[in-house]
Structure formats: C-alpha cells, structure tokens
A = this chain, B = another copy of it.
Amino acid sequence: MPELRRDPIVGRWVIIAKERGKRPHDFVVPEEKVKGGFCPLCPGHEYTTPPEVLAYGRPPGAPPNSPGWTLRVVPNKFPALRIEGELWKEGEGIYDKMNGIGAHEVIIETPNHHETLADMPLDRLVQVFWAYRDRMVDLSRDSRFRYVIIFKNQGRAAGASLEHSHSQLIALPIVPLLVSQELKGSKLYYDYKERCIFCDIIRQELQTGTRVVCENHEFVAICAFAPRQPFEMWVIPKRHHSDYRSIDDAQFQALAEIFSEILKRLQSAIPRCPYNFVLHTAPLREPYLEHYHWHFEILPKLTQIAGFEWGTGFYITPTTPEDAAHFLREIKLGEGGHNGGE
C-alpha cells in the first residue's frame, strides 16, 4: 500500500509509492560527455568573468582576477537580476510587479575543472561554506535585499549549464513564498508547543534512527520524512539558530565533514547522481528566531516534475526515506571516506 506523508513544516504532502520500491541501482544516470573546449571558470580565464567580489587562497599582494586562487566569487555574467538601480514596485491593473533588482553571483568552488564537492579536500570544502557566509554578510548591508538564497545545481539534469563545480547565490528584494511558508509552519508549531520543530525533528530522528544517514558532534544528516525526490537529505545543525550567518569555526569544520560524507555516499549509491542543494536560512532582516532553524536540503534529481506535481505541489517518490537511509548507511566508503569525524 502506498503511503501519504506530510512535511511537518510547510504542510506539503507526498506519496511514497512503496510498490515501485526503487533501489539505488534502479536509477541509472547516463554518463555525460566531457565537453572539451573553453571553461570560463578555470584559472587563467579570469578575464572572461565579471570582476570578482571575493577570492581565497592567493598569496598576499597578488592582484585580483589573476590565477592562484582556491575559491572565487564573481557576478553571474547572465544575471537573473541586476544589482544597479532603485527598487520600484508598481501595479498593472490587478497585477503586481517590480523591477529585477538583486544580485546573482557564482561561487567557483575549486580551481580544478574536474573536481566535485564529493572529492574535494576538507579544508577547501570548509572554504565553500565560509564563502557562503562572507557573501551573505556583505550583501545584507544592502538595504534593498530581504533574502539571500544559496543553491547548487550539480549535473546537467539538475540544471547546471557549466561543468566546472560551482554554486550560486541570488539576493532578492522579497522573501520567497516557500521561505515564508516554512517560517509560518514552524511558527505555528512553536506557538503550540513552545519548541522548535527542527530541534524536535533532530530528537525524534536520532531516537528512531531509521532515517539517519550519519551524524557528528555538530550536525545530523537525515533522509527527509516526506521527500520530494528519492534520497532527499537534510543536514541540520544540532545547535539551534535561525541564521546561517551565526555559523562558527567548529561548525564549519563539522559541516564540511558531514557534507563530504553524504555526497560520497550518494555518488557511491548512484554514480554521477545529479542533485540540487539549497541553504534554508532566516530572511536577512529577521532577528534571532526561536522557531526557525537553518539547514541544508539536498535533492537528488532522479524523477521528473510533471503534471501532477505542477497541479498539486504534491510529489510522488518511489523510494521510502527509510530504505534510502539504509542504502546510504550501508555504503562502504573507501580511503578518504569519513564516518562523521567521530
């Protein structure tokens, strides 16, 4: 019998079609042609991107936009939103619109064209999470922005248009609907229970254990109770805080460790698995919130969004999160693997 499950935060229902019972090897991702040719994100090609807004790793005194970096952040050459101008809002009869003020940046995670987050050394993965915070802190000084969304598209099927590993950041003049729903859902829970729903999720998941992929001192990685895609994972900090900008050194290290581990497990279970991940954090202008809890959501791109999903906001997934977590835990990681740093 299939099962309907409700995401406790936003109230979204999903259908777990157990009978379809897909295991990792049922998801075969076609091998992508390695495109030769020119990569604008590779070292030596800095002149092809807009001037960088952040770089790590160059020796002191080295000029900006030159090689020698280990991580580099540049404005998107084809931005969805533009940084210049005043924000205006206006109506068009019954409709509302505003101009597309915002920032759209590319975080070039590595100088090595073929390196992915899953096989990157930990100290450089730490830099990626540092860069997210540095850019959020900088962009929050701009009073026009109300939200910074940070996300990654890995693999063509997940929407990546460049092969060289990178994440993206978009600063928005509004708080997106899904973020508002998440805030509202967790506030409702808090008003009723006086507890953070994410803290309760951590407690319950660690107690039952069936959906836990791995954990360390600072973080737990679980397969989501009501997933939108097979093998959907959430990485949640054990210490309560609503804002990613509060992250500290111990957390940076532990976050890199757990991310490295779950991505290795995922790639090992489903070779070349395309995925998206998104940082969920409070809006820029919010104070510390008792009811909200920052975290990452990782969505492998293994099933199609089709008419049913467009019409309902409902998702059908053919793998239970308990099975997914079990498969991922059972993966034997080879050398260079991490088991949570414990």
Q: How far is the CA of A97 from the CA of B200 in the complex (A)?
A: 17
Partner of A100, one of B15, B98, B226: B15
User: Are B276 and A159 neighbours in the complex by a CB distance under 8 Å?
Assistant: no
User: Are B306 and A159 neighbours in the complex by a CB distance under 8 Å?
Assistant: yes
Among the stretches A47-55, A80-88, A121-129, A244-252, the one at the interface with B is A80-88
User: Are B98 and A312 neighbours in the complex by a CB distance under 8 Å?
Assistant: no
User: Are A179 and B312 neighbours in the complex by a CB distance under 8 Å?
Assistant: yes
User: Are B151 and A308 neighbours in the complex by a CB distance under 8 Å?
Assistant: yes
Partner of A97, one of B5, B10, B78, B310: B5
Chain A residues touching B, majority SS: mixed
* A292: B residues at CB distance < 8 A: none
* A304: B residues at CB distance < 8 A: 153, 157-159
User: Are A96 and B5 neighbours in the complex by a CB distance under 8 Å?
Assistant: yes
Q: At the interface, yes or no: A305 with Cβ under 8 Å from chain B?
A: yes
User: Are B311 and A176 neighbours in the complex by a CB distance under 8 Å?
Assistant: yes
User: Are B176 and A316 neighbours in the complex by a CB distance under 8 Å?
Assistant: no
CB distance from A7 to the nearest CB of B (A): 9
User: Are A177 and B311 neighbours in the complex by a CB distance under 8 Å?
Assistant: no
Q: How far is the CA of A308 from the CA of B160 in the complex (A)?
A: 11
User: Are B307 and A99 neighbours in the complex by a CB distance under 8 Å?
Assistant: no
User: Are A168 and B308 neighbours in the complex by a CB distance under 8 Å?
Assistant: yes
* A204: B residues at CB distance < 8 A: 93-95
User: Are B174 and A4 neighbours in the complex by a CB distance under 8 Å?
Assistant: yes
Per-residue CB proximity of A277-314 to B under 8 Å, as 1/0? 11110000000000000000101000011111011111
User: Are B94 and A200 neighbours in the complex by a CB distance under 8 Å?
Assistant: yes
* A177: B residues at CB distance < 8 A: 10-13, 312-314
CB distance from A77 to the nearest CB of B (A): 11
* A95: B residues at CB distance < 8 A: 5-6, 8, 204, 225-226
With A159-B306, A174-B13, A305-B305 in contact, do A149 and B2 touch (Cβ < 8 Å)? Answer: no
Q: At the interface, yes or no: A34 with Cβ under 8 Å from chain B?
A: no
Interface range on chain A: under 10, 10 to 19, 20 to 34, or 35 or more? 35 or more
User: Are B149 and A311 neighbours in the complex by a CB distance under 8 Å?
Assistant: yes
Partner of A85, one of B1, B81, B312: B1
Q: How far is the CA of A92 from the CA of B201 in the complex (A)?
A: 11
* A2: B residues at CB distance < 8 A: 79-82, 99-100
Partner of A310, one of B94, B100, B278: B278
Q: At the interface, yes or no: A191 with Cβ under 8 Å from chain B?
A: no
With A4-B100, A11-B177, A80-B15 in contact, do A310 and B306 touch (Cβ < 8 Å)? Answer: no
User: Which residues of chain A in 300-342 are interfacial with respect to chain B, using CB atoms and an 8 Å cutoff?
Assistant: 304-308, 310-314, 316
User: Are B159 and A307 neighbours in the complex by a CB distance under 8 Å?
Assistant: yes
Q: How far is the CA of A276 from the CA of B11 in the complex (A)?
A: 24
Partner of A176, one of B82, B172, B313: B313
A-B contact pairs, 10 of them (CB 8 A): A2-B79, A4-B97, A4-B98, A13-B177, A17-B80, A19-B78, A172-B312, A178-B311, A276-B306, A278-B307
- A6-B96, A13-B176, A151-B310 provided; 17 other pairs, C-beta below 8 A? A2-B80, A2-B100, A3-B98, A5-B96, A8-B94, A13-B177, A93-B204, A151-B307, A157-B304, A159-B304, A172-B312, A172-B314, A176-B311, A178-B313, A181-B313, A278-B310, A280-B311
